[in-house]
Chains A and B, each alone.
Chain A
Amino acid sequence: MEQSVSSILDTYQRDPTQLMDILIDIQSEAGYISDQAIEQAALGLNISKADVEQTRSFYHFFSKKPRGKYSIYLNTSVVACMMGRDTVARTFEHETGIPFNSVTRDGLIGLFETSCIGMSDQEPAAIINDRIFPNLTPFRAKELIRDIKAGKTMDELIVEGFGDGQNSNKDIRAIINNNIRKIGPVLSPDYKPGKVIREILPKMTPGQVIDEVKNSNLRGRGGAGFPTGMKWELCRQTESSEKYIFCNADEGEPGTFKDRVILTERPKLLLEGMVIAAYATGASHGILYMRHEYKYLKKYLENLIQGAHKRKFLGKDIAGIKGFDFDIRIQLGAGSYVCGEESALIESAEGKRGEPRDRPPFPVEKGYLNQPTVVNNVETFCAAVKVLLNGGNWYRSFGTKDSTGTKVLSISGDCRNPGIYEVEWGFSVNDMCEMAGADDLQAVQVGGPSGSLIGPGDFDRILCYADLSTGGSLILFNHTRDLLQDVVLNFTSFFIDESCGSCSTCRIMPVLLRNKLNKILNARGMNSDIVDMVNWAKVLKASRCGLGQTAANPIVSSILNFKHLYDQRIRGGTHYDMGFDLNRAIQEAGTATGRFPLME
Chain B
Amino acid sequence: MGKVSTFTIDGVKCMAGEGSYIVDAARQNNIYIPTLCDVQGVPPKGACRTCTVRVNGKLMTSCTSRVHDGMEIENNVPELNDLRKSIIEMLFVEGNHLCPTCEKSGNCELQALAYRYAITVPRYPFLFPRRNIDFTHPRIIKDHNRCILCKRCIRVIKDKDGKNIFAFLNRGFKTRIYVDPDLAENLTEELAQKAVDICPVGAIIKRGQGFETPIGRRKYDKHPIGSELEE
Contacts and interface: CB of A to CB of B under 8 A. Distances in A.
Interface of A: 46-51, 53-54, 57-58, 336, 353, 358, 360, 496-505, 507-509, 511-512, 515, 532, 536, 538-539, 541-544, 579
Given A536-B86, A542-B49, A508 B91 contact: yes
Nearest to A501: B175
Most chain B C-beta atoms within 10 Å of own C-beta, residue among A50, A58, A496, A544: A50
Contacts of A579: 125
A389 B125 CA distance: 59
A498 B173 CA distance: 9
B149 A51 contact: no
* Interface size class, chain B: 35 or more
A496 B172 contact: yes
Contact of A498 (B59, B167, B170, B172): B172
24 contacts: A48-B159, A49-B180, A50-B164, A50-B167, A54-B169, A57-B178, A58-B171, A358-B45, A358-B64, A498-B172, A500-B172, A501-B172, A501-B173, A501-B175, A502-B168, A503-B47, A504-B49, A507-B149, A508-B91, A508-B93, A511-B127, A515-B125, A539-B86, A579-B125
Nearest to B164: A50
Contact of B167 (A53, A508, A539): A53
Contacts of B44: 358
Nearest to A515: B125
Given A48-B163, A511-B173, 10 more contacts: A48-B167, A51-B163, A58-B170, A58-B171, A358-B64, A501-B170, A501-B172, A503-B46, A509-B90, A579-B125
Contacts of B170: 57-58, 501
Contacts of A541: 59
A536 B124 CA distance: 9
A509 B148 CA distance: 14
Contact of B164 (A54, A515, A544): A54
A387 B125 CA distance: 54
Contact of B165 (A50, A498, A512): A50
A51 B165 CA distance: 8
B135 to A, nearest CB: 18
Given A515-B125, A539-B86, A50 B171 contact: no
B47 A53 contact: no
B178 A504 contact: no
Contacts of B123: 532, 536
Contact of B171 (A46, A47, A500): A500
B113 to A, nearest CB: 12
Contacts of A503: 46-49
B47 A504 contact: yes
A48 B165 contact: yes
Contacts of B166: 50
B52 interface: yes
A49 B174 CA distance: 19
Interface string B19-45: 000000000000000000000000011
Contacts of B159: 48
Contacts of A46: 161
B138 interface: no
A-B pairs, top 5 by smallest CB distance, nearest first, are A501-B175, A50-B167, A54-B167, A499-B172, A50-B180
Secondary structure of the A side of the interface? helix
A542 B59 contact: yes
A336 B171 CA distance: 10
Most chain A C-beta atoms within 10 Å of own C-beta, residue among B64, B124, B182: B124
Interface of B: 44-50, 52, 59, 61, 64-66, 83, 86-87, 90-91, 93-94, 123-125, 127, 148-149, 151, 159, 161, 163-175, 178-183
B146 to A, nearest CB: 14
A50 B46 contact: no
Contact of B90 (A49, A498, A502, A504): A504
A508 B94 contact: yes
Nearest to A519: B125
A535 B71 CA distance: 29
A504 B48 contact: yes
A414 B69 CA distance: 54
B109 to A, nearest CB: 14
Contacts of B168: 54, 57-58, 353, 501-502
Contacts of A47: 163-164
Contacts of B59: 541-542
A61 B6 CA distance: 49
A512 B90 contact: yes
Contacts of A496: 172-173
Nearest to A548: B49
A196 to B, nearest CB: 38
Contacts of B86: 536, 539
Contacts of B93: 508, 512
B42 to A, nearest CB: 14
Contacts of B175: 501-502, 507
B183 A48 contact: yes
B90 A505 contact: yes
Contacts of A358: 44-46, 61, 64
A525 B112 CA distance: 34
A352 to B, nearest CB: 10
B216 to A, nearest CB: 30
A207 to B, nearest CB: 28
B173 A508 contact: yes
Given A47-B163, A48-B165, A507 B182 contact: no
Given A509-B90, A536-B86, A539-B87, A501 B174 contact: yes
A532 B59 CA distance: 21
Contact of A499 (B50, B94, B125, B173): B173
Nearest to A516: B125
Nearest to A543: B49
B169 A502 contact: no
Nearest to B94: A508
Contacts of A48: 159, 163-165, 167, 180, 182-183
B172 to A, nearest CB: 4
A346 B176 CA distance: 23
B90 A508 contact: yes
A49 B64 CA distance: 28
A541 B50 CA distance: 13
Nearest to B85: A539
Nearest to B182: A49
A398 B166 CA distance: 53
Contacts of A532: 123
Contact of B49 (A50, A51, A336, A505): A505
Nearest to A359: B64
A339 to B, nearest CB: 11
